[in-house]
Amino acid sequence: MKIENILLPVANRLTDDYLAGDPQVMRLFTYQPFQPSSYRKRLAWLKERNYPQREQLAEGLLEYNRRIGNAPAALEAIEKLRETHTYVVVGGQQPGVLTGPLYTVHKAVSLIQTARRLTAELGCEVVPVFWIAGEDHDLDEMNHLYIPIDETRMKKQKLDLPAQGRVSASMLQVDRDAMHRFAAAFFAEHAETTHTAELRRWVSEAAEMSTTLADWFARLMARLFGRHGLILLESSLPFVRKLEQPVFRDVLLHNRRIGELLRRAEEEINRLGYPSQLELASDQAHLFLYDGGERQLLRTHDGYFTTKDGGRRYSLDDLLMLLEADPERFSANVVTRPLMQEHLLPTLAFVGGPSEIAYWAFYKAYFAHFGVQMPVVQPRFSLTFLDGAAARLLEGFGLRAEEALRDFKGWKESWFNSLPPSGISERFERVRQSIRQLYQPLVDEVSQLDRGLSRLANKNLRILLDQVTFLKQRTERSILARHQTSLKRIERIETVLLPLGALQERTYNIFSFLNKHGSDLIDRLLEVELPFDAGHKVVYL
């Protein structure tokens, strides 16, 4: 398996500058990623801290990972967490149907490879933990995936979910027949291969043992990554809530201060010229509360906490008493979840996507308020799978994968302009500009002579320009008609590399690749040591 490491700009500008080591942005973080000294310093800091809940954490993780059928290697990794010299790299994602977009798989690969590397380099045990955000209630983000229906087209397929309000993925019951129908429809759109039957069995068995989307997701992730030691942690599990109880208490008691520190961070980020990645409101409590099975955002008002819909009002004492009696009623948001994570896990590094890293730019002072230091914040690996057929198409155009991924639109324009007669589109555009330059002064003069002629003169100019545009378009279509074979090949390249105009990882699902390239594709990928940096990895299959 050949790997090509290339540099692509990250969609988030703050994250891009962070990865480039911009000194101003680096002040918002504690460590620079991928630097050996960063992980050694973080390890030294962790060794001075105490994690008394290791036993409870290990017991809870063992029970959950056994229930979802995780592999012996993952259970062995959990046992290591009982030891004070074991640390973690952590990252996560909300559950998605059939594991969701490829970037979820990329995160898991990143965690496993990073844990292996740090274990070897630091001389201590480092295990990978995947945090399943089952408490997330944005089901429209989780209920679908995209399927290639031919060489140039994709279609969206949705899982039928019952009508719901703000119900978490871990609480919403999903009909097993709906999961089986979804899987059948998914594989029906794929060519039957020697791997299809096995993959169908994986998906069907996982669905048969699941009652929620979070369960189905966890079982499939365990099937794909468990043998490589990936520990799965589902955020809404009762034992997790119990262990997080002290942190929920601190967040309630220090709620105003948290808001102040986040707003200061926002001011600094804005001062540096970056937009706010987080939507911060002055009345946010940065917690959710389950009420009637729905996950309600808490806000502050006149010394009280209220649900977002205004239906419930609580005093601080009310919530502290409720927390003591029933911690499962509480849920973190994007701001407080990292603090929960830091309390639960001896974290060497957090692995996230571009937007997640930009969120962490807000957290340094807020963490320090609670006596906590930010871990190394490291980007997940970003991969593009490229099979032999697509590689040959690129070669036929003399196009490198890096060039295509960087600016495919620009390359297509250059390719078209190179077709005979060369530069015809540019010449049409020059004619348009010349007509406008020559005709506009005459339009202005006529309008001054007779204002009643102004509208007619401007309309006349538009007609002339439209006629040039019309001829240009007809000419372009005529040229393209002579090159239909090449155009189809270009569309195939675009569907493979940049489906729906975005990187492959935003659209494709891993089961499409497993069906074509083998159910052991993940295993083969994890046998290769990927470059430990922020480069984009092109994986030649």
Q: Which residue has the tokens 């390359």?
A: 411
pLDDT at 163: 67
Q: Show Cβ contacts of residue 220 under 8 Å, excluding neighbours closer than 6 positions.
A: 98, 99, 202, 203, 206
> Which residue matches tokens 């290697």?
73
Residue 157 tokens read as 């397929």
CA dist 509 → 106, 124, 187 (Å): 11, 34, 12
Q: Which CATH number fits domain 1-285+341-385+501-541: 3.50.50.60, 3.40.50.300, 3.40.50.620, 3.40.718.10?
A: 3.40.50.620
Three-state DSSP state, 9:
coil
Residues 77, 379: contact at Cβ < 8 Å?
no
Do the beta carbons of residue 378 and residue 349 sit within 8 Å?
yes
Beta-bridge partners for 509: 101
Under 8 Å between Cβ of 488 and 160:
no
| pLDDT tens per residue, range 462-497 | 999 899 888 888 877 777 777 788 888 999 999 999
Kindly state the average pLDDT of the residues 159-182.
Answer: 88
- The yes-or-no verdict on residue 327 having pLDDT over 90 is yes
CB of 141 closer than 8 Å to CB of 103: no
CA angle 247, 130, 229 (to 5 degrees): 130
Q: Are 376 and 89 in contact (CB under 8 A)?
A: no
Domain ranges for the chain, please list them.
Answer: 1-285+341-385+501-541, 386-500
Q: Over 80: is that where the pLDDT of 344 sits?
A: yes
Cβ atoms of 144 and 186 within 8 Å: the answer is: no
Over residues 210-269, the pLDDT tens digits come to 999 999 999 999 999 999 999 999 999 999 999 999 999 999 999 999 999 999 999 999
Residue 55, classed as helix, strand or coil, is helix
Mean pLDDT of the chain: 93
For residue 57, pLDDT beyond 90: yes
**pLDDT per residue as tens digits for the range 507-529:** 999 999 999 999 999 999 999 99
Of the candidates 15, 51, 38, the one whose C-alpha atom is nearest the C-alpha of residue 118 is 38
Kindly report, residue by residue over 394-446, the tens digit of the pLDDT: 999 999 999 999 999 999 989 888 876 777 778 888 888 998 898 888 888 88
Q: pLDDT tens digit string along 6-28? A: 999 888 999 999 999 999 999 99
Q: Is 276 helix (H, G, I), strand (E, B) or coil?
A: coil
Percent of the chain with pLDDT over 90: 76
Write out pLDDT tens, residues 450-461: 888 888 888 888
Structure tokens at 316: 């601080």
Dist CA 180 CA 176 (whole Å): 6
Buried-state track 226-252, b at ≥16 Cβ within 10 A, e below 16: bbbbbbbbbbbbeebbebbeebbbbbb
- pLDDT, residue 345, reads 97
